[in-house]
Structure formats: structure tokens, C-alpha cells
Amino acid sequence: MKDEGEDTGLQDLSVRTRRFALRVLKLYAALPKSTEGQVLGKQLLRSGTSVGAHYREGIRARSTAELISKFEGALQELEESCYWLELLYEGEIMRDRRVEWLAHEADELIAILVACVRKAKRRK
């Protein structure tokens, strides 16, 4: 699925947020079936897959204010995802390169979206 009508930077971010969600899905499937693993995993599943949805809503926004709101929603979901990833790792529920990759990618996505929000606020 390709996002038509977007410039290359936005399309790349759309791909990255979708890839992030898919990696969250795979991590969730690999989590231990313990209560702790499943509770934290479901939280991560919800927040990690919401990032791309907020982002896509933002790029289709009707106004700069709506774009900012949607991108800030994506930022909140990324921050929450980081929290669940930290708990999975530091709680020794899953110490895996997948957790580390997701945490690193979340940090990069946060930096990109913060820059997008700042730029949009300057335009407003």
C-alpha cells in the first residue's frame, strides 16, 4: 500500500510508522504468556499501532491546528510506547534486540514528529 499524493518525506514517515506498528505486532506475538508479559504487551500493542493512525490523520488534516493535534497525539502514543518497552526490558520480561530496535525507532520518530510540530506551529 503506497500513500499517493504525499511528498517523499511524508511518505517515508508513513512507511516508518507502519513498519513500527508491524514490528510491535511481531513483538507482542513473541512475548511470554505470563500475566505481566500480556498486560504490558497489550498496552504496547494499543499505543504502538496508534502512532501511524494519528500520523495518517494528521497528513490529511484540514487545517494546521488539526495537523498539530494529530501529530501531538502520535507523539503521546510514542512516549507511551517507550514506557511499555522500558518496562518490558527493565522488568526482564523480554530482553531482546527487537525491544531495543523499537525503543530506538520510537526515539527517532519522536524527534522527527517534534520537528514537524515545531515547523507547523511556526507556520501557524
Task: Please enumerate in sequence order all residues whose Cβ is within 8 A of that of 110, keeping only pairs 6 or more positions apart, or say none.
Answer: 75, 78, 79, 82
Looking at the chain, the whole-number percentage of residues with pLDDT higher than 70 is: 90
pLDDT range class, residue 1, cuts 50, 70, 90: very low
pLDDT tops 90 at residue 21: yes
| Mean pLDDT in residue range 4-24 | 79
Query: How far is residue 81 from each of residues 8, 35, 85, 122, measured CA to CA in Å?
Result: 26, 18, 6, 28
Burial 84-109 (b: 16+ CB within 10 A, else e): bbebbbeeebbeeeebeebbebbeeb
Give residue 42's pLDDT. 98
Domains of the chain listed by start with CATH number: 8-123 (1.20.1440.60)
pTM comes to 0.88
Selection from 64, 67, 70 nearest residue 52 by Cα: 70
Give residue 90's pLDDT. 96
For residue 14, which amino acid is it? S
Least confident of 3-7, 25-29, 54-58, 83-87: 3-7
| Mean pLDDT in residue range 29-48 | 97
Give residue 9's pLDDT. 62
Give residue 6's pLDDT. 42
